[in-house]
Amino acid sequence: MDPIFIWWIGEAAPDRALLDHAALHLGRAFGRPVREWSSPERPRHAYDPKRKQHLSGAILKWLLEAGPGAGKVLGVTDRDLFIPILTYVFGEGQLGGGAAVVSIARLLEDVELIGPQLLLERLAKEAVHEVGHAFGLLHCATPVCVMARSSGVRNVDEKKPELCSECRRRLEELQTGGPR
């Protein structure tokens, strides 16, 4: 069973508690081992100076080229991400592909007021969400499902860190080649 690799690609030093918490939830959600991948390389080419943000699609391509080459790889960054049609994104996952990326930049809203546990929970949810796309899952209409679309941080807070029963069933089908 191919593992999920989690790779800190931020500029600041990695926060062990943050990565360990995300890894715990990824392992639970997808039933796979989660391993850390480490390299000093960073996707600096993804920076757009006009927007002062990083293009998430460029990071996904880079993760596939520079990453472990097997399983799924999740890049975690402290840089703000965007896709051209949106002001920002919390992350992006290749639908049925090998890479996903998530940023903590926009997840930090209100963390100083509420506490660091809030950031742990938000990152875990968005990590599972983006890796869920990499496993082939689409957005879910159930608001509390981790695969529900999040247009703002409040939507992230409303979600649970787990897949709903329908998304769990769909994941099993995708992994076993069952009905589509």
Question: How far is the first Cα of the chain from the last one, in angstroms, to the nearest whole number?
Answer: 22
Q: For the sheet containing 34-36, what is the strand order? A: 34-36, 4-8, 72-77, 99-103, 91-93
Q: What is the pLDDT of residue 68?
A: 85
Report the C-alpha gap between 116 and 134 in whole angstroms: 27
**What's the confidence (pLDDT) of residue 176?**
86
CA distances from 112 to 91, 94, 117, 159 (A): 22, 32, 10, 20
DSSP track, the chain: -PPEEEEE--SSPP-HHHHHHHHHHHHHHH-S-EEE---S---GGGEETTTTEEEHHHHHHHHHHHS-SSSEEEEEESS-EE-TTSS-BSEEE-TTSSEEEEESTGGGTTHHHH-HHHHHHHHHHHHHHHHHHHTT---BSSTTSTTB--SSHHHHHHS-SS--HHHHHHHHHHHHT---
**Number of domains the chain contains:** 1
In the block, which residue shows the tokens 């600041």? 12
Say if residues 153 and 159 touch (Cβ distance below 8 Å): no
Burial class (CB in 10 A: 0-12, 13-18, 19+), 57: middle
Catalytic (active-site) positions: 130
Note down pLDDT in tens along the chain; length 180 residues: 899 999 999 999 999 999 999 999 999 999 999 999 998 889 999 999 999 999 999 999 999 999 888 889 999 999 999 999 999 999 999 999 999 999 999 999 987 777 889 999 999 999 999 999 999 999 999 999 999 999 999 999 999 999 999 999 999 999 888 765
- pLDDT score recorded for residue 179: 67
CATH number at residue 67: 3.40.390.10
The domain of 168 spans 4-176
